Chain A
Amino acid sequence: MVGSQSEKVWNRVSRGIYLLILTAGALVMLVPFLWTLSTSLKSLGQALVYPPQWIPHPVVWQNFVKTWNIVPMGHWFLNSTLVSVSVVVGNVVLDSMAGYALARISFRGRSLVFFGIISMLMIPFQSIMLPVYIILRTLGLINSYAGLILPQLVSAMGVFLMRQAFLNVPGEVEESAIIDGASRWRIFWQISLPMVVPTVLTLALMMFMGSWNNFLLPLLVANNQTFWTLPLGVVMFQQQYYTNWPYLMAAAVMATVPVTILFLVLQKWFIQGISTTGLK
């Protein structure tokens, strides 16, 4: 069989080509990070050498210390952490509760609430920044943690995700609990929620990332340095020290490390999250 022989060769060649393309693509994705890391460890003089050099010599760890000290990076870290953790807790509790009610309890007005939430899936934050800013201003929430947290505390996407998860929980367990006289709150908290932990984890991750990386909301809310979060701080730092690339890259590295660790540890849930929200 000459045909199958040449087919095998062709198969091997095409797999080689595929691997080559994939490797090239992966390099394009990773080079900016590696370049950032490399620059963050260079002296300013070496960073500006052209053509660029990849290996820092000498390695200037001091860039990180100096960057941490000339701007209040530590404070921005705390702000980002405070806001992101609150947003995660809020979404996990509130989105789950709403998703549970929409999936499990039949009540008057359920479809109205459901379609209302669905319609909000299509409203991205950039397009409503002006009215949101005016509402926050009217409520006196400019330059406050509440202003940074409240607009992100629930998400239509999160409610939708949790509703889908609760729909897949078998109903028998709940029914027997109802007969035993358990309250809805107890059923939700002790029976149903533990059964959708993977989805909760996915939701928590998505919300953490979204909030940790959010730039526009802090830009609107935090005029005062005290309330800057990391992304806003890094950008403001860039506008001030725009020629000192090693410092800027050190700041970029520091701002990326927490999500990178989170991502590497919990990669599986990220992928699952995208697959479920992306496909539904």
Chain B
Amino acid sequence: MAALSLKKTVNSGGLKKWRRTETMTAYGFTLPTVILLLGFSLGPAAYAFFLSGVSWNLLNHMHWVGLHNYGVIFHMPLFWTSVKNSVIFAAVVMPVQTVIAMVFAVIMNQNLPARPLYRLAFFFPSISSSAVASVMFMWIFNKLGLLNSFLSVIHISGPNWIGNPHFALSAIMILNIWSTAGYFMVVFLAGLQAIPQNMYEAAAIDGASGFQRFLRITVPLLRPSTFFIVIMGMIGTLQMFDQSFIISGGTGGPLNSTLTVSLLIYQEIFSYGHVGYGAAATVFLFVLVLGLTLLINRWLGKPVEY
């Protein structure tokens, strides 16, 4: 009806004019967003590729060195230390937070009393800023702090978490899992609502145990949520910066044990003025994240078949 009367009101010349107005309006509506995103998101990403080919310390004259910077960072032991730290960090934190989030979401989905209160408690850590959470945990991880006093109850003499190179990265892992698991749990909870209840009923009639139902129905049907959480978790953990910076005071110490790739990039520009090296490490990080994203996409990205 509406479309018909629309054609009647505007004759063909008017229609053309109307189309043009529409297009201009659309450009007007999207222009500020496009400019800002180009300037502060897509543009910088492209700019990083260019900068990775220059020698520049922000003050001197920039000159082109081609692939030289990549050669330098690939021969830099510190660079590989940072890659190792970031990859270990991601390889531990991402799976652990995903599993914790999924298990707690499934438990919370069991029609238990006081569910909103529990959800509130689990979600609460993700509203705190990385800065505040890091400062809070530095106090908890103190040699004579809360965590070690809990450990001493079970007769474990806790280390100086933050000052010991063997434990500093683990401390940041604990902090990270604590602060993001609840957020992802809420994502899983939303995914669980989408699973048809009759599948569980049918499985129960067939005699499947609770654990079997979890493995055979819940886990496969949650794949869209899992996919999202694994991708977001992987990107977030591989680029971890704030917690390392704050807990190590910007050094990545002790003994570079908390130096991540992002922190190395920061140091290359702000401590050493090596823009080119930092940009080459940036491009390396892009490629790493993109490669892993494609890999995960092949593994988890297929649509769910009921």
Contacts and interface: CB of A to CB of B under 8 A. Distances in A.
Is the pairing of A and B real? yes
A98 B110 CA distance: 41
Contacts of B236: 124
B245 to A, nearest CB: 8
Nearest to B186: A274
A251 B136 CA distance: 10
B37 interface: yes
B183 A231 contact: no
Contact of B122 (A26, A31, A105): A26
A214 B172 CA distance: 18
Interface string A26-39: 10111111011001
Contact of A52 (B34, B127, B136, B149): B149
Interface in B173-193: 178, 182-184, 186-187, 189-191
Nearest to B27: A107
A22 B112 contact: yes
B52 to A, nearest CB: 10
Contact of B29 (A19, A50, A100, A235): A100
A170 B269 CA distance: 51
Contacts of A172: 2
Interface string A6-44: 000000001100110111011011111101100100000
Contacts of A21: 104, 107
A227 interface: no
A152 to B, nearest CB: 8
B213 to A, nearest CB: 13
A130 B48 contact: yes
Given A32-B178, A213-B131, A150 B36 contact: yes
Contact of A245 (B27, B125, B139): B139
A271 B186 contact: yes
Contacts, number: 273
A133 interface: yes
B251 to A, nearest CB: 11
A19 to B, nearest CB: 6
A95 B140 CA distance: 40
A156 B286 CA distance: 18
Contacts of A259: 127-129
B264 to A, nearest CB: 11
Interface string B106-149: 01101011000111111111011111111111111000111001
Interface residues of B, number: 100
A77 interface: no
A262 B271 CA distance: 38
Contacts of A127: 45, 239, 262, 282, 285-286, 289
A153 B45 contact: no
A25 B279 CA distance: 41
Given A22-B112, A274-B183, A279-B228, A128 B34 contact: no
B137 A101 contact: no
B66 interface: no
Interface stretch (B18-26, B71-79, B195-203, B298-306): B18-26
A58 interface: no
Contacts of B137: 32
Contacts of A75: none
A123 B125 contact: no
B112 A19 contact: yes
Interface in A198-232: 209, 212-216, 219, 230-232
A87 to B, nearest CB: 12
Nearest to B269: A130
Interface of B: 2-3, 5-6, 9, 21-23, 25-27, 29-30, 32-34, 36-37, 39-45, 47-48, 51, 58, 104, 107-108, 110, 112-113, 117-125, 127-140, 144-146, 149, 152, 178, 182-184, 186-187, 189-191, 194, 210, 224-225, 228-229, 235-236, 239-242, 245-246, 249, 262, 265-266, 268-269, 275, 278-279, 282, 285-286, 289, 293
Given A32-B140, A100-B29, A129-B241, 17 more contacts: A36-B136, A52-B149, A105-B22, A105-B23, A107-B26, A123-B42, A131-B44, A154-B33, A154-B37, A185-B25, A213-B129, A215-B129, A215-B131, A234-B132, A245-B139, A270-B127, A271-B186
8 contacts: A22-B107, A127-B285, A134-B51, A213-B131, A235-B246, A249-B139, A275-B187, A279-B194
Interface of A: 14-15, 18-19, 21-23, 25-26, 28-33, 35-36, 39, 48, 50-52, 94-95, 97-98, 100-102, 105-108, 110, 113, 116-117, 119-120, 122-124, 126-135, 137, 150-151, 153-154, 156, 159, 172, 175-176, 178-179, 183-185, 188, 209, 212-216, 219, 230-232, 234-235, 238-239, 245, 248-249, 251-252, 255-256, 259-260, 263, 267, 270-271, 274-275, 278-280
Instruction: Rank and list the top 3 A-B pairs by shortest CB-CB distance, nearest first.
Output: A213-B129, A231-B131, A278-B187
